[in-house]
Amino acid sequence: MRQRPALTPLVGALPSTVPFVGPEAQERDRGRPFRARIGANESSFGPSPRVIARMESVARDQWMYCDPDNYDLKQAAARHLGVGTENVVVGEGIDGLLSLVARMYAAPGDAVVTSLGAYPTFNFHIAGVGGQLVTVPYENDKESLDGLLKAVVRERAPLVYLSNPDNPMGSWWEAAEITRFIEALPETTMLVLDEAYGELGPASALPPIDVARPNVIRMRTFSKAYGLAGIRCGYAVAEAEVIRDFEKIRNHYGVSRMAQIAGVEALADQDWLHSVVARVAAGRTRIAGIAETNGLKPLPSATNFVTIDCGKDGSFALKVLQNLLSRDVFIRKPMAPELDRCIRVSVGLDHELDIFAEELPGALAAARGN
């Protein structure tokens, strides 16, 4: 038997898994496409027509490498948020930025705090650097600010993750509560404040940006409200020295030329963003109504999805999900204890929600054994 190069002990001990099984993989396994793709929190409304036209006009230019400084997009993001370009770093979506944060602030063996059931890609990156996750249960379907703070202090954690609005429950905290949490954190603990859904929730949930504070990194993305999940582009805002630390390890050619151009155009078309936000709000209302018609409880949401309490345990909710999948409706569900009683349905196009409304009664009946 041939010998092979040895992995590092850290990587050798990790499972060969990914945080998500994509709808494409499920379609390959099933041998047919989904009729309604309403599970990945994408925007079926797509990007602005202005963005599409600009991307089409520069398609021929993709033979060139991207600008490794992300100059134009950093300028646009800084103007959009009213900060300096020295306060912005661009990355391959929030996922790519989380990978950098894990490398920057979590040494092997360090305790890193997050909520039990929160965004699993963060956990994936912490495992990749040898950090030790400390998880805090949700309270009343919201991330527990007090619980997270207590865990940070108890564990002397160098890093804590919080999303607001939240995935997978769609819940949110008002800005005053987030500010209270930030001010109570030890100065030596870095907060990753994931605001991927920030454009879709109430403005009152977003605290003013304070780039003088060195222990907060706020993250935004073009994947949700801007309808550009496929280009993998996001940005983080932080104190200038923190941004300089990102420069030490980021992949300087990681964000494509097309992604940078699309991001600039997306930020410039705020009218389209506002129209999408309104359509998402209408879609949330429609999903909530479908749930209630079927005797289920929709949870309040500040995102582009609605989490639905199926009224029983995680086993029952899983059966509902599986029966919807068998009916060609792609959704997802939380998997953590207490949260797993729910399914999660993304806002989709009208015809997709028509299909969901048509298929949900049969899926529920099958899950109940009727």
pLDDT tens column, 134-172: 999 999 999 999 999 999 999 999 999 999 999 999 999
What percentage of residues in the chain have a pLDDT greater than 70?
100
Confidence of residue 12 (pLDDT cuts 50, 70, 90): very high
The domain 49-269 is classified under which CATH number: 3.30.1360.180, 3.40.50.1220, 3.40.50.2300, 3.40.640.10?
3.40.640.10
- Rounded mean pLDDT, 261-287: 98
The domain 9-46+271-367 is classified under which CATH number: 3.40.50.2300, 2.60.40.1180, 3.90.1150.10, 3.40.50.150?
3.90.1150.10
Confidence of residue 18 (pLDDT cuts 50, 70, 90): confident
Per-residue pLDDT at 65 = 97
What percentage of residues in the chain have a pLDDT greater than 90?
97
- Rounded mean pLDDT, 91-113: 98
Q: pTM for this structure?
A: 0.96
Per-residue pLDDT at 21 = 87
In the predicted model, is pLDDT for residue 370 greater than 80? no
Contact, 324 vs 331, CB < 8 A? yes
Q: Where are the domains of the chain?
A: 9-46+271-367, 49-269
CA distance 308 to 296: 7
Q: Which residue has the higher pLDDT, 370 or 3?
A: 3
Q: Which residue has the higher pLDDT, 242 or 17?
A: 242
pLDDT digit string (tens) for 68-93?
999 999 999 999 999 999 999 999 99
pLDDT digit string (tens) for 339-369?
999 999 999 999 999 999 999 999 999 999 9
Query: Which amino acid type is present at position 27?
Result: E
CA distance 295 to 181: 36
Per-residue pLDDT at 237 = 98
Per-residue pLDDT at 16 = 87
Confidence of residue 20 (pLDDT cuts 50, 70, 90): confident
216-221 β-sheet, strand order:
88-91, 234-237, 216-221, 190-194, 159-163, 111-115, 132-136
In the predicted model, is pLDDT for residue 173 greater than 90? yes
List 219's β-bridge partners, or say none. 194, 236
In the predicted model, is pLDDT for residue 29 greater than 90? yes
Confidence of residue 19 (pLDDT cuts 50, 70, 90): confident
> What integer best gives the mean pLDDT of the chain?
97
In the predicted model, is pLDDT for residue 17 greater than 90? no
Confidence of residue 266 (pLDDT cuts 50, 70, 90): very high
In the predicted model, is pLDDT for residue 130 greater than 80? yes
Of 159, 119, 125, residue with least CA distance to 138: 119
pLDDT digit string (tens) for 177-198?
999 999 999 999 999 999 999 9
Confidence of residue 1 (pLDDT cuts 50, 70, 90): confident
